[in-house]
Amino acid sequence: MGGDQKLKDGDEIAEAIEFTNNCDLLFFTNKAQCYKAKAHEFADTKASVLGEYIPAKLQMDEGEVAVKMIATKDYKGIILFGFENGKVAKVPLSAYETKTNRKKLTKAYCEKYDIADIAFATEDREFIISASSGRMLLLHSALLNLKTTRNTQGVAVLRLKKGHRLFSIEEYTEGRFSKPSRYRTKSLPALGALPSPDDTSEQLSII
């Protein structure tokens, strides 16, 4: 693609990644399913084209939308599934590698809880776990046990106050927080910390 990507009103680019057309694309949906496709199945288009509607392209069920897309050649890495109740499950990407060219995997993650966000990394690293209350927790994924069962329920990571939920998971980048130790914990589940004034201004500058 060349030029600025055109978007429909109300749409936004959540993530931009680079990959080659011989990658597998894994689309994890809000219905605990994973749809697999080859990158070359999507035609190259100009930026002026609004792209393809993924639910239609992959024949998803009614009301089903993609929460996260992962591109991979070797199925190495880890996935963190963050549930609204504060639990997080850590599963190896290799759990989604199939010998046959299956287009759809059911029970891709625990169906018991509502999914809030999904994160992927090639190796263990720190992630920011955010709550709807504004509190944030800096968690190294190595603290979580790796479960090969895709629909594992995970472990309690965020201790949530009444009426709030786990909101998002994102990879931590060095320099994001002025004092990272403020958001780290020695035990789980943890309440997390409200952002300091320095971190609030930093976050606004990033946005």
Domains of the chain, CATH where assigned: 24-206 (2.120.10.90)
Q: pLDDT tens digits, residue range 91-104?
A: 999 999 988 778 89
Q: pLDDT tens digits, residue range 102-158?
A: 889 999 999 999 999 999 999 999 999 999 999 999 999 999 999 999 999 999 999
Tell whether the model's pLDDT for residue 53 goes beyond 90.
no
- Please, which pLDDT band fits residue 207 given cuts at 50, 70 and 90? very low
Tell whether the model's pLDDT for residue 84 goes beyond 50.
yes
pLDDT of residue 110: 97
Q: What are phi and psi of 17, to 5 degrees?
A: -130, 160
pLDDT of residue 15: 65
- Please, which pLDDT band fits residue 205 given cuts at 50, 70 and 90? very low
Cβ atoms of residues 36 and 103 within 8 Å: yes
* Pairwise CA distance, residues 106 & 34, whole Å: 7
* Pairwise CA distance, residues 12 & 69, whole Å: 15
Averaged pLDDT score across all residues of the chain: 88
pLDDT of residue 204: 40
H or E element that contains 56: helix 54-57
Query: What percent of the chain is modeled with pLDDT above 70?
Result: 85
Cβ atoms of residues 65 and 98 within 8 Å: no
Return the minimum-mean-pLDDT range out of 52-61, 123-132, 139-148, 192-201: 192-201
What is the side-by-side order of every strand in the sheet holding 136-140? 136-140, 126-131, 166-171
Q: How far is CA 55 from the centre of its chain?
A: 18
